[in-house]
Amino acid sequence: MEVEFLTFEQSMARLDEIVKILERGEASLDESLQLFEEGTGIVKYCNKRLEEAEQKVVRLTRGSDGEPLELEFQGNE
């Protein structure tokens, strides 16, 4: 799975997995190298997301079709 499509929850779960496999030390060198690269990539990706995070607040209302409609939340209503 491409790193960019992982949710934070999935990223952290995958990192947990990678750490465990590497700590067991049973993977082949090729596998370990792959896991090392994948793990470092996910950490970098997570840090980048934290770095660039900008909180979004929306106000959800029911659109005319009944589907959720996101509006800007001014915060002074």
Which residues of the shown chain bind another protein in the complex (CB under 8 A)? 7-9, 12, 15, 18-19, 22-23, 25, 27, 29, 32-33, 35-36, 39-40, 43, 46-47, 49-50, 53-62, 67-68, 70, 73, 75, 77
CB of 29 to another protein, least distance (A): 6
Nearer to another protein by C-beta: 2 or 24? 24
Distance of alpha carbon 47 from alpha carbon 19, whole angstroms: 17
- Check if the beta carbon of residue 40 is closer than 8 Å to that of residue 25: no
Q: Phi-psi category of 25—alpha, beta or left, where left has phi over 0 and alpha has psi -120 to 50?
A: left
Name which of 2 and 52 has its Cβ closer to another protein. Answer: 52
